[in-house]
Structures are given as C-alpha cells and as structure tokens.
Amino acid sequence: MTREQKQQYWKDHIEAWQNSGLSQAEYVRRNGLPIKTFGYHKRRLQSAPKPQQTLVPVKVDNNDTNQVQTPESGISLVTPRGFTVALASDFDVACLQRLLQVIG
C-alpha cells in the first residue's frame, strides 16, 4: 500500500467513525482496528491544515457600464457588497484569497 493509499484508508475510517454515531472505542472494535493507531491518525488528520476551496458563481455582464480596465488582459471581480477588485494577469492567488475573505 502506498503512502497516499494509507492516508486515504485512515481518512476514510476517521470520516466513517465521525458519521457513525459510535464512540471511538466501539468503532475501532467493530472494525478490528488498533485503537492507538486510529488515535494517532485522527490527531494527525485533525491537525493538518485544510485547504479552503470554495466555488463562487460568476456572472459575466457584457453590458456593464461600470467596467474597470485591468492591465495585461486581467480581470475584475465585483463582490456582492459592491467592492471591485481589478487583477492583472500575474496576480498573487494567496493574496487575492485573503482579500476576498476580508471584503466578501
């Protein structure tokens, strides 16, 4: 079993346990898993940073009279609150994510 397969194996068991309504001890007993190994992987997975990915609907409005010119074929985004963010084609994705969390 590859490292990725092992990680997925334990991730699947952790998720199944969380959805089972069973105590941790009862879940590992019913599934024949070592309780210490289960606990180790549970802690490791819970402490791992979780990527934040959110799909946001995008409306393209070619008739917008308030268009913002962006350099180098960039794009502009308008948040639901009315903030406009103009982005060059080489924008920093991490910076944009932080900005949208603040103004979104």
Distance separating alpha carbons of residues 41 and 47, to the nearest angstrom: 10
38 and 61 share one domain: no
User: pLDDT tens for residues 14-43?
Assistant: 999 999 999 999 999 999 999 999 999 999
Instruction: Indicate if 10 and 42 belong to the same structural domain.
Output: yes
pLDDT (average), residues 94-104: 73
Q: Are residues 66 and 41 in the same domain?
A: no
Question: How far apart, in whole angstroms, are the C-alpha atoms of residue 104 and residue 6?
Answer: 37
Higher-pLDDT residue of 22 and 79 is 22
Given CA atoms 58, 61, 65, 69 in this order, what sign does their dihedral have?
A: positive
**Which domain covers residue 64, as residue numbers?**
51-104
Number of compact structural domains in the chain: 2
Mean pLDDT, range 92-97, rounded to an integer = 77
Q: What is the pLDDT, as a whole number, of residue 20? A: 92
Q: What is the pTM of this model?
A: 0.46
